[in-house]
């Protein structure tokens, strides 16, 4: 089995979301650039401003990678001020919906929507973000009954630690602290960890049909993982997929740099921790997606080897998932 493959060696891209639309494999990453901003725990140095759509023709490990060009730019999003981080795309009735996080004028992350008639774009953004949306790292998931969902959330720079019960109960004060504030607003280490959120989308795909709810991840005894369990608890980059009759929630542990997988019998969960899918990579962040192509399963992710370890200049990779 080929170990891994760099997909776009001539450019820096990260945070991949991959889907098969109409028999064609598309990858929608964030687009790294060197903005000259000092590296900080709050992620200011990840100052991305646009998205490209890529198509892999044939086998993900060997097929040609086609760049369909820029499909959305920050300057075209009326409500967004900066930082186009990861995105994902869903399809319904022949239209394609890109969901993306960005900071508004007050430097608060929300989730926006942009629409296209083709999976390769271009995507036209709505003038306002989704009401009630917050945080980052969007995953679009279509369930067996056709219902469409978003999974989202990320700690520290992704601001999830500011929220409880979908309300912002802490201010941005921690952003003014020096690096190392880290767990300032997280639960105590012996308390349940913060959870990724899941929400069903409205029929028109443009708003939430319900209040976001927690996806609880448990240990082998059914107990919710604690905030101090840094090798298993959720940090960011949740990805939901259905495989072998089970719902799988894969995610990054953040400061311990692992991609983990948890499984459940139902969409609502809870999700029991199962295994580590990927160990630490060069570069601080770990972000991924899992997709089935031609009866095989693939893990898309990134590292910072080509840029010499600079965490804000990452490169996409793919490997077959064992």
Catalytic residue positions, numbered: 15, 236
Residue of 22, 112, 20 whose CA lies nearest to 72:
112
Q: Tokens 């009326």 sit at which residue?
A: 78
Contacts of 301 (CB under 8 A, 6+ apart): 16, 259, 278, 281, 286, 287, 288, 316, 317, 318, 319
Helix (H) and strand (E) counts in the chain: 0, 23
Distance CA 240, CA 237 (A): 10
Distance CA 308, CA 206 (A): 40
Distance CA 283, CA 279 (A): 12
Tell whether omega for the bond before 270 is within 30 degrees of 0, i.e. cis: yes
């Amino acid at each position: 089995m080929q170990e891994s493959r760099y997909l776009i060696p001539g450019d820096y891209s990260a945070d991949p979301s991959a889907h098969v639309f109409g028999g064609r494999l598309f990858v929608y990453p964030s687009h790294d650039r060197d903005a000259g901003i000092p590296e900080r725990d709050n992620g200011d140095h990840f100052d991305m401003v646009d998205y490209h759509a890529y198509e892999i023709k044939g086998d993900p490990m060997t097929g040609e990678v086609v760049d369909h060009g820029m499909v959305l730019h920050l300057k075209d999003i009326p409500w967004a001020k900066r930082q186009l981080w990861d995105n994902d795309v869903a399809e319904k009735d022949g239209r394609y919906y890109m969901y993306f996080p960005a900071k508004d004028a007050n430097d608060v992350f929300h989730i926006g929507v942009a629409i296209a008639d083709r999976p390769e774009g271009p995507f036209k953004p709505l003038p306002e973000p989704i009401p009630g949306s917050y945080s980052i790292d969007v995953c679009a998931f279509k369930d067996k009954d056709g219902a469409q969902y978003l999974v989202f959330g990320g700690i520290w720079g992704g601001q999830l630690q500011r929220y409880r019960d979908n309300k912002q109960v802490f201010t941005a004060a921690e952003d003014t602290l020096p690096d190392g504030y880290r767990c300032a607003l997280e639960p105590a280490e012996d308390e349940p960890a913060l959870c990724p959120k899941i929400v069903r989308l409205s029929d028109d795909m443009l708003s939430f049909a319900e209040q976001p709810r927690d996806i609880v991840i448990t240990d082998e005894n059914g107990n919710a993982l604690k905030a101090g369990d840094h090798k298993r608890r959720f940090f960011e980059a949740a990805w939901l997929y259905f495989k072998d009759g089970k719902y799988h929630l894969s995610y990054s542990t953040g400061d311990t740099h692992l991609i983990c997988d948890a499984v459940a019998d139902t969409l609502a969960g809870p999700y029991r921790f199962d295994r580590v899918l990927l160990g630490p990579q060069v570069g601080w962040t770990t972000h991924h997606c899992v997709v089935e192509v031609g009866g095989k399963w693939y893990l898309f992710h990134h590292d910072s080897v080509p840029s010499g370890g600079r965490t804000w200049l990452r490169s996409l990779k793919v490997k077959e998932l064992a």
